[in-house]
Amino acid sequence: MSKIILITGASSGLGKATAEKFAAGGWDLIVTARRKEQLANVASDIEKKYGVKTLSLVFDVQDKKAVFEHLGNLPKEWQAINVLLNNAGLALGREPFDEANLEDWETMIDTNVKGLLYASKAVLPFIIAQKGHIINIGSTAGKEVYKDGNVYCATKHAVDAISKAQRIDLLPHGVKITAVHPGAVETEFSLVRFKGDATKADAVYAGYTPLKAEDIADTIWYVANTPAHVCINDLVVTCTAQGNSTTIYKG
C-alpha cells in the first residue's frame, strides 16, 4: 500500500517540488492550494509522469471553516496520512515597523501561523492513527530577526515554537515533528513579498547561488524517511553563501 503525504501550498515552489519528489518515490499525494488551475496542472502532470494517485483540494489555509471542511472530511481511502507538510506561507512587504501595512501583517499571521495550526488540527486524528509525521516549514527568519522583517520574522518564530510544542505534546502518540528552516530559496517567495516587483525580487538572489526548491524537497524527503525510532527535530538549511538570516556573502 502506498504511503500518503498531504502538502499545503502545493501549486508552486517548495510545495510543488516536494510533491514531485515524493511522487517519484511512489507516494500518493493530497495537494492543496488556493490557485485551482495551477494546482490541477501540478496534479495532472504528476499523475502522468509518476503514475501515483493525487487528490487536489482548493482552499485558502487562512479560512478555518474551509480547512476543516476539506481536511476533516477526507474520503476514507485518503485518511491514512503518513506525513503532513505544512508548507503554505508567505512574506508580504519589507518595511520598518512604523511604516508596515496592517493588512500585510494580518495576512502573514493568518497564513503562516493560523493556517498551520488549522491544517495540523484538522488532520491530527489521521496522523495519530498512523503514528505519522508533521513537517513544518519555518525559516532562518525564525532563528534571528532581521531589519524590516518584523512580523514575518515573528510568524516564523511562532512556527519554531509551535513545532517544539507539538513535539512535546504528541510524544504519547508516537507522532514525529520536524521543523525545516530554509534560508534563501529562489522561488516566487520574493516576487510575492515585493508584490510583483521583479526587479526587487531578482536583486534578493543576485551575486550568489541560492537554494533551489528541489534542495528543500530533497531535505524533506530525507527527514520523512528516517527509521521509525529516529526523528530529526529541527533543521536549518542554507546555501553555502549564507551564514544566517542576516548574512549572505555576495562575491
Phi, psi of 156 (to 5 degrees): -80, -30
- Maximum Cα–Cα distance for the chain, whole Å? 54
Whether 208 is a known active-site residue: answer: no
Which of 152, 205, 208, 249 is flagged as catalytic? 152
Distance between CA atoms of residues 182 and 196, nearest Å? 22
Query: In what helix (H) or strand (E) does residue 181 lie, and over which residues does it extend?
Result: strand 176-182
Distance between CA atoms of residues 132 and 212, nearest Å? 27
Nearest to 177 by CA among 189, 185, 168, 190: 168
Distance between CA atoms of residues 58 and 9, nearest Å? 10
Nearest to 65 by CA among 31, 115, 102: 115
Cell numbers standing for residue 68:
476543516
- DSSP string spanning 57-76? EE--TT-HHHHHHHHTT--G
Enzyme catalytic residues: 152
